[in-house]
Chains A and B, each alone.
Chain A
Amino acid sequence: MSERLHPPETSETPATTVSPTSTSLVRTRLKDRRPAGHRKISGPPRDRIGYLFLTPWFIGMALFTVGPILASLYLSFTEYTLLKPPEWLGLDNYREMLADPRLHKSLLVTFVYVFVSVPIQLVLALALALLLNRGVRGLSFYRSVYYLPSLLAGSVSIAILWRQIFGKDGLVNQVLALFGTEGVSWVSHPDFALGTLVLLNAWTFGAPMVIFLAGLRQIPTSYYEAAQVDGAGTVTRFFHITLPMLTPIIFFNLVLQLIGAFQSFTQAFVVSGGRGGPSDSTLLYTLYLYERGFGSFDMGYASAMAWFLLAIIAVLTGINFLFARRWVFYGG
């Protein structure tokens, strides 16, 4: 049963699997098109069956995705507080964003958070995956232990734990006291509070690690055998086989973890008591968006913020894909 979850085409990254399958889809569809006259007699058009199966998705897509996206674009040009109909403002919300110091602060906080925690997370994930790769006994046990935090970290419970651990009399300072050092209250110090959240995100390296492990298993052992015959050492093999072969997975993990990190909310909200403090040092973009949208019901401004977030993520993902051509290796 376990093999079934790894059919040959799915164990690669989706980025590579989607394209070959979709071209074969085009081919089968063209084949179907030819005896079109026959099909009308022999049964209901296949179109209708497909649309029938997709009906829930169509409705959901219209009501909860496409509709809201368009509505939020419209709202971003208005002032709207739910109490009276939206009032057209033109670009005023966007102009206000240009001049809003808290928004700038929240962007800075978010960028620091994302671009510090994601690299740490991915490096840890890759390092552990490499350690676990070479037929370590108890692999599934280690994998589970390292993966567990990824499941728990998004919960309020863990955020509460974090707030205690990095508090004045928290676990970290108790351990430091054993070494004769006195620590500050990390969560309420403007220089360190964001760092505790970065650590919390790095703690979830288990999820990308599992993906790296699956990717490592895909590298044909014959490559390593050939390299060994040629006298290549461990380091050479890593830089000339493992790393190039793994670049599609690294890319995939990078894109996903960046997108995920931009959307972090719960931990910062709970650890900072909902305000992004101290002195806005943990005011993630999502926290500020929540504050404007659901604290002061400034729905127009929050919509403009949401669209800006979408633009940031789209641009970053675009840049990622653009640079991917230079370093991601889809051969072999």
Chain B
Amino acid sequence: MAAELKASGGRSRRLSKHALLIGFGLVMLYPLLWMVSSSVKPSETIFRDPSIWPTSFDLGNYTDGWTALEHPFHFYLLNSAVIALLAVAGNLISCSLAAYAFARLNFRGRNVFFAMMLATLMLPIHVLIVPQYVLFSQLDWINTDLPLVVPKFLAHDAFFIFLMVQFIRGLPRELDEAARIDGCGHFRIYWRIIMPLSVPALATSALFTFIWTWNDFFSQLIFLTDPELWTMPVALRSFMDGQGETAWGQLFAMSIVGLAPIFGFFLAGQRYLTQGISTTGFR
């Protein structure tokens, strides 16, 4: 009976389901597509043309927007990239070391430390930012990249420790035990066995660290007030407040340039991203 049902009503139901899914997806993505198409139209049509089909094609917004700020836009992109790449390196090294300890080693206080680590996942950054600012200003680190980079090398992003712990726990223990019998020390096991097997978890962590650091606005706004150090998001925001609503086309163009790396990484690594959040459940 079930098979019969599937054969008769299934086809049209499937089609209407796809129509619904595509329609909803279009509504969701419409603003993005419209921004892309508006960025190649003359500025004034942004206020008139709700269609996503560009009637004209003009990269003027990109060339004008690129030089609209004090520095050319690649200056800010580069500042962002330096911070994001250092953050990726820091998180991969420090979080994987901590994760190996939590997942594979026995030591006194491990469960307590693990619980502490999980608790910091729920801690809002706003609770820490004021005293961190005080600390960094006493170290003379304000208006340097250090407040944004050094914590990453000290495993401050507990989220990635958790992600890697979950992953390493799923790896068969026989491998490290065999290596133990062959006389391997823990650093060798970590480096030669666990790390190579953890590439999917490392890739997920690298992607998320890059995307979140690239998007991060709050801490960059606070720690980088000197325009010479501004990152892409801080520069974009000042672009908007400075030029106001007069330069939407250029603003859109530079916003798209700012989103492009995320979109690229999304296309290249979407499997790692969606699987990463199914394993741990974060954005």
Contacts and interface: CB of A to CB of B under 8 A. Distances in A.
B78 interface: no
Contacts of A55: 97
Interface stretch (A89-97, A100-108, A299-307, A324-332): A299-307
Contacts of B2: 228
Contacts of A51: 107
Given A50-B105, A203-B28, A72 B252 contact: no
Contacts of B101: 50, 53-54
B17 A274 contact: no
Interface in A124-154: 128, 131-132, 136-138, 142-152, 154
B266 interface: yes
Q: By DSSP majority rule, is chain B's interface helix, strand, loop, or mixed?
A: helix
A253 B277 CA distance: 11
Contacts of A259: 122, 124
A13 interface: yes
Given A53-B98, A68-B135, A28 B106 contact: yes
Query: Counting chain A CB atoms within 10 Å of each CB, which of B50, B111, B201, B236 scores highest?
Result: B50
A265 B233 CA distance: 13
B224 interface: no
A145 B28 contact: yes
The 10 tightest CB contacts between A and B, nearest first, are: A7-B170, A60-B154, A50-B107, A157-B255, A214-B278, A53-B101, A68-B131, A71-B131, A174-B50, A169-B47
Given A75-B130, A161-B31, A171-B31, A252 B154 contact: no
A57 B123 contact: no
Given A10-B170, A131-B20, A156-B258, A142 B124 contact: no
A219 to B, nearest CB: 15
Contacts of B144: none
Interface stretch (B56-64, B67-75, B161-169): B161-169
Contact of B169 (A21, A128, A148, A253): A21
Nearest to A74: B131
B34 A265 contact: no
A25 B113 CA distance: 13
Interface residues of B, number: 109
Nearest to A286: B126
A154 B217 CA distance: 9
B222 interface: yes
Interface string A4-38: 11111111011001100110011011001000000
A25 B128 contact: no
Contacts of A207: 277, 282-283
B50 A175 contact: yes
A171 B117 CA distance: 44
Query: Counting chain A CB atoms within 10 Å of each CB, which of B125, B131, B132, B201 scores highest?
Result: B131
B274 A151 contact: no
Contact of B190 (A53, A270, A286): A53
Nearest to A21: B169
A10 B100 CA distance: 16
A25 B108 CA distance: 12
Contacts of B214: 155
A1 interface: yes
Contact of A25 (B24, B111, B131): B111
A294 B31 contact: no
13 contacts: A5-B279, A22-B111, A56-B154, A60-B155, A64-B151, A152-B32, A156-B236, A161-B255, A164-B248, A211-B277, A266-B217, A286-B126, A306-B129
B65 to A, nearest CB: 12
